[in-house]
Amino acid sequence: MTKVLIHTRAPQRHIARLTEAHPEVIFDGCNSFEKLPDTLARFAPDVLFSVNFTTNEPYPRDAVLSSGIKWVSTGGSGTDHFAPWNTEDITVTNAAGVAASMMVEYVLGCAIHFNIDVPGLTTDKISRTWQSDRNVRSLSSQTLLIVGLGHTGRLLAERAKAFGMTVIGTRANPRTTPYCDEVHSSESLPQLWPRADVIAVCTPRLPSTLGLIGRTAFALMKPDVVLINVSRGGVVDEAALIEALSQNRLRGAAMDVFGTEPLPADDPIWEAPNLLISPHCSAVFDGWEDTSITMFSDNLGRYLAGETLSNVVDPIRGY
């Protein structure tokens, strides 16, 4: 019989659902990184469903890849915590798109936050200052640059068009994309930075995207641009971001992901001005894990039937 290990914070709840859908499968659960290596050795599963929740412990990648598992299904879209892997030994799938709608709301919410100057309004309220000449900005007159037109990026393009924004974006193989006015390769970013009023970073973490947005990129951006990062830690050079914000070369930025998570209390980025910091939660909403489990259950049905799996990830492309 096929054995499946469910690695989430509350695996038994998911196992109950999955057992009902797949009574021919043996399920077991694990709720921590610390216990995962021993559980893998004891249970010897064929399949692992795993959530990479934020913790001080590193993800036990080596234990997973050396366990003899045939298929790993990650509960989110990012798979860099597994990379690299040998596709002849193991198949990795993700839940791309599971939180796209929530992440789009996060991006647009952050853009609106800075467009209506919530930080300034908050300061005025604290000081009881009434600025009659204060202006707010409309997204409808602005250009949105989406770095990475994956599931989230493409949905963001659609929603941004509802605000009347001009949308330009990048993808590995540029082609006409719905709701995008222009689509370019990432090599064109030096020409695109100066055109954007809002930049949404949605690209996966790859060797080619590490440090993608650094001092050179910031120097080319408009002085009142808003940068919103919902990709992965390392894509934005955090030291360069602190420098740009401190020198007022950005109107504002929102960072949901960081090179080190949890973000240390003594990290200098906490002090950066005009910066929203969130704890890698742009994709976390009530019910997201249940939605991801549903996607996994459908894919498990394909696996048991010997059919091609959905959302298979290429370790070179990262998606």
Cβ proximity of 73 and 49 under 8 Å: yes
Q: Across the chain, where does the E strand assignment appear?
A: 3-7, 26-30, 47-50, 71-74, 91-93, 143-147, 166-170, 182-184, 198-201, 226-229, 252-255, 275-277
Backbone φ and ψ of 117, nearest 5°: 60, 55
Which single residue is written with the structure tokens 């030291």? 239
The residue annotated as part of the active site, out of 171, 232, 238, 251, is 232
Secondary structure in 3-state letters for 145-207: EEECCCHHHHHHHHHHHHCCCEEEEECCCCCCCCCCCEEECHHHHHHHHHHCCEEEECCCCCC
Residue whose C-alpha is closest to residue 21's, from 40, 49, 41: 49
Q: Does the annotation mark 128 as catalytic?
A: no
Quote the CA–CA distance of 38 and 41 in Å, as a whole number: 5
Count of CB atoms within 10 A of residue 229's CB? 26
Query: Residues 293, 297, 299, 304: what is their CA dihedral angle, to the nearest 10 degrees?
Result: 150
Assign 67 to helix, strand or coil. Answer: coil
Q: Does the annotation mark 261 as catalytic?
A: yes
Cβ proximity of 168 and 146 under 8 Å: yes
Cβ proximity of 187 and 159 under 8 Å: no
Angle at 79 between CA 89 and CA 111, to 5 degrees: 165
Q: Does the annotation mark 232 as catalytic?
A: yes
Query: What are the counts of helices (DSSP H) followed by strands (DSSP E) for the chain?
Result: 10, 12
Name the amino acid, one letter, at 295.
Answer: M
Query: Residues 156, 161, 162, 163: what is their CA dihedral angle, to the nearest 10 degrees?
Result: 100
Residues catalogued as catalytic: 232, 261, 280
